[in-house]
Amino acid sequence: EVQLVESGGGLVQPGASLKLSCVASGFTFSDYWMSWVRQTPGKTMEWIGDIKYDGSYTNYAPSLKNRFTISRDNAKSTLYLQMSNVRSEDTATYYCTTRTTSFDYWGQGVMVTVSS
């Protein structure tokens, strides 16, 4: 059974940095592209970016490219999202997903609240 478990969220102050993790199991992690998608409290969905199965290529939403970085550690079956200089509009639930033709499997999500 595919499982994706995100962690690392919480309350963070504007301008701070935060790193989210997603531990994968139930499939060969190193064979799959992976993605991060976020959902605002108002339920708006936004794709953040993708990373190739070997970590050699990343693709980001242009509006987030300068502040967010996706990486992975295939030995640990773990996906990461480094967020820097966070803003109130980054308040959302963050999901990691497998990525083939669509966002196939989703984690349970982790909440990030940006507030002073």
Partner 1 sequence: DIQMTQSPASLSASLGETVTIECLASEDIYSNLAWYQQKPGKSPQLLIYYANSLNDGVPSRFSGSGSGTQYSLKINSLQSEDVSIYFCQQNYDSPYTFGAGTKLELK
Q: Does 44 bind partner 1 (CB under 8 A)?
A: yes
Backbone angles phi, psi at 42, to 5 degrees: -85, 5
* 21 versus 74: smaller Cβ distance to partner 1: 21
Calculate the CA 106 to chain-centre distance.
11
H/E stretch holding 97 reads strand 92-99
Rule CB under 8 A: choose which of 62, 75, 115, 116 binds partner 1.
62
Residues 76-115 that bind partner 1 (CB under 8 A): 95, 101-109
Q: Which residues contact 102 (CB under 8 A, 6 or more apart)?
A: none
Instruction: Decide: is 61 part of the binding site for partner 1 (CB under 8 A).
Output: yes
Residue of 31, 46, 54, 73 that binds partner 1 (CB under 8 A): 46
Give the nearest distance from C-beta 88 to partner 1 in angstroms: 21
Q: Minimum Å distance from CB 116 to partner 1?
A: 28
For the chain, give percent helix, strand, coil, nearest 5: 10, 55, 40
CA distances from 101 to 98, 104, 112 (A): 10, 8, 27
Single out the segment in contact with partner 1 by CB under 8 A; choices: 14-22, 24-32, 54-62, 75-83: 54-62
- Interface with partner 1 (CB under 8 A): 43-47, 59, 61-62, 95, 101-109
